[in-house]
Amino acid sequence: AQSVAQPEDQVNVAEGNPLTVKCTYSVSGNPYLFWYVQYPNRGLQFLLKYITGDNLVKGSYGFEAEFNKSQTSFHLKKPSALVSDSALYFCAVRDPGSGNTGKLIFGQGTTLQVKP
Amino acid sequence: EAGVAQSPRYKIIEKRQSVAFWCNPISGHATLYWYQQILGQGPKLLIQFQNNGVVDDSQLPKDRFSAERLKGVDSTLKIQPAKLEDSAVYLCASSLAASGFLNTEAFFGQGTRLTVV
């Protein structure tokens, strides 16, 4: 069964410093991986995805993520954090294997707090 | 392009009452999802439709929850009777993700916040 884990409930970083939000996954085949951000009282907003190809994918608002197949990880990164990046971040995985329904499974979320 | 529309935004009901949520997905999106997000947790998939057929409802509490997607477009999610533990945000999402489009992302509505008292 597919699953995704975000080992940190909260990440704190100072504005201007690089940030990393961790994600690991488990699927039977090659995964499709996604990052979403959620601001208070809002729905989830798509940031970026990895499907195939270059392991480093770039997304919205200066975010990027690195796919590492050997470590089954897909960590979200940003070179220089902004206070406005403070939000709840979710990693999600879809197993595209034959016979699968395309179910999108989410991690439990990581709160990012960027301090001025 | 219009996004995923959900209504109502907020709902407060007493336990044992019934409630219904409505979702209008992005035009042309074959797949529609209903997720339950309890405070402090990630979204949990309740049911997934592809067009007007159910492809996954393994985590839907079928004794009290039901959902339908008429004509493969709009969808309603109903809870009857509600319990205190149903208090959560109910998120609807849609995507092109059908056979051949599994690499597409899902787009989410703003959600309905349900409080059961």
Listed in sequence order, the DSSP H helices in A1-116 are none
Dihedral sign (CA A106, B26, A31, A45):
negative
pLDDT at B30 over 90: no
Task: Let me know if B48 is exposed, middle or buried by CB neighbors in 10 A (0-12, 13-18, 19+).
Answer: buried
Least CA distance to B49: which residue of chain A? Answer: A101
Provide residues of A within 8 Å CB-CB of chain B.
Answer: 6, 32, 34, 36, 41-46, 49, 51, 90, 94, 96, 101-109
Residues of A in contact with B108 (CB under 8 A): 36, 43-45
pLDDT for B10 equals 96
Residues of B in contact with A21 (CB under 8 A): none
Average pLDDT over residues B39-60: 91
Average pLDDT over residues B52-81: 93
pLDDT at B80 over 60: yes
pLDDT at A63 over 90: yes
